[in-house]
Amino acid sequence: MILFRRGFKVNQERLAYNIGTFVDVKDRKHYSLKFKTAHTGDSRIGIMLKDFEKPRMKSVLKKYGLRVKVYRVNQINNVPKFLETNIRKNKDTIINFWWKPIDGTDWGHHVLLSKLDTKKRKISVCDPGSKKDKFWTIKIDKLVKCMSKEFDGNERGFVVIS
């Protein structure tokens, strides 16, 4: 979506392949490319926050004139101000969180920041890959809780694309 918003039409499967994404072995039949596979429950499936820090990811995004920077939630003193600053500067913000406090499921996820309401301390996100709503809102305090290490030992955070 970030590339499309910036005028690039990119094959999503090819992009995922180029950045080294793992897929669940039971899902490999859904892809035309031969992805690296792992078994259900393996944390390598999909994309993790740390994957955005790897040279391979940075190299792929650089081909589109984009830079990426990862911020763990504990690095940010004022999350609403952080989000507001990135919106004002026309930067895309990907949010990485754990679903468990929201709906009880036990997996991590990425969504794209769509809107910020600083007065209500809420955000709206775009979630096209979700089996749930494609756009939804969450209180910032709850979002920050969903980013803590307490669920799987991995601290979550934000990916800023500029």
Q: How far apart are CA 110 and CA 139, in angstroms?
A: 16
CA 91 to chain centre: 14
Domain parsing of the chain, residue ranges: 48-161
Phi, psi of 9 (to 5 degrees): -100, 110
Q: Which of 18-22, 34-38, 100-104 has the lowest mean pLDDT?
A: 100-104
**Mean pLDDT on 88-109:** 89
Q: Is the pTM of this model over 0.95?
A: no
CATH number listed for the domain at residues 48-161: 3.90.70.30
What phi and psi, each to the nearest 5 degrees, are found at residue 158?
-125, 145
Could you tell me the pLDDT band of residue 161, with boundaries at 50, 70 and 90? very high
For the segment 42-95, what is each residue's pLDDT rounded down to a tens digit? 888 888 899 999 999 999 999 999 999 999 999 999 999 999 999 999 999 999
